[in-house]
Homo-oligomer: A and B are copies of this chain.
Amino acid sequence: MLIAYDGTEFRGWAKQPGVRTVQGSIEEALERMVGSPLKLSVAGRTDAGVHASGQVASFPAPLAIDPIRVQRALNAGLAPEVVVRDARLVPDGFDARRRATAREYAYRIDTGPVPDPFMARFVWHRPGQLSVTSMRRGARLLVGEHDFSSFCRSPKLPASTVRDLRRLSVSAKGQYVEIRALANSFLQQMVRSLVGTLVAVGDGKRDPETMAVVLAARSRAAAGQIAPPYGLTLVRVTYGKH
């Protein structure tokens, strides 16, 4: 299933007892439809308040199920906050998380003097100009296969903190600045931490050349603040040819 959601009113993707999550909402609706519990595998476990336009989730279907009916039933119950954009049958053994080869996130910043009510749920309103040139210079030093532990939420370090950051671009359009990050996978809060650090660079508070030092430090304290969740959207998940 290709899924989009406004994450504002959810405590993130991952199911947790007693709170409203995207996974929990979809699994409940699926269970009502097929009559037995199902567990979703997902490409990007987004945090509370983070959005998705191109999330991918899969589940082992217990019977010959019509993907169009699944899409309609879920949208009837969950849209427009959560929308199944597409649904299709995949070969046995496909798993949305394990088979994903890359994830792409977009982070949007509004640098204008006052917020825009139409964009407020999906951007970080942070008034004041940012130097896109400096941010790009800093971003270039972060691209590549590195140990990103400086950009990972500290308490829960996974076995490996090496990730292949294939692209980290910064673009500006009017008062909006967009940062796009593409990697094989991301550590927890990694994109928001990259964004917070690049914003400090764009602000002139950090020198773009220090990005190499931040990486080498392998310590959360070396990076900048973590940007707020609502500016972040998972836009695309890539799978191999097979």
Interface residues of A (CB under 8 A from B): 4-6, 51, 53, 71, 75, 79-85, 114-118, 120, 122, 125
Contacts and interface: CB of A to CB of B under 8 A. Distances in A.
Contacts of A117: 4-6, 51, 79-83
A240 to B, nearest CB: 27
14 contacts: A4-B116, A4-B118, A6-B118, A51-B117, A53-B118, A75-B115, A79-B117, A79-B120, A80-B116, A80-B120, A80-B125, A81-B117, A83-B115, A118-B122
Contacts of A118: 4, 6, 51, 53, 122
A114 B83 CA distance: 7
A30 to B, nearest CB: 17
Copy number in the complex reads: 2
Contacts of A114: 71, 75, 79, 83-85
Contacts of A51: 117-118
A85 B115 CA distance: 8
Contacts of A75: 114-115
Contacts of A116: 4, 80, 83
Contacts of A120: 6, 79-81
A159 to B, nearest CB: 34
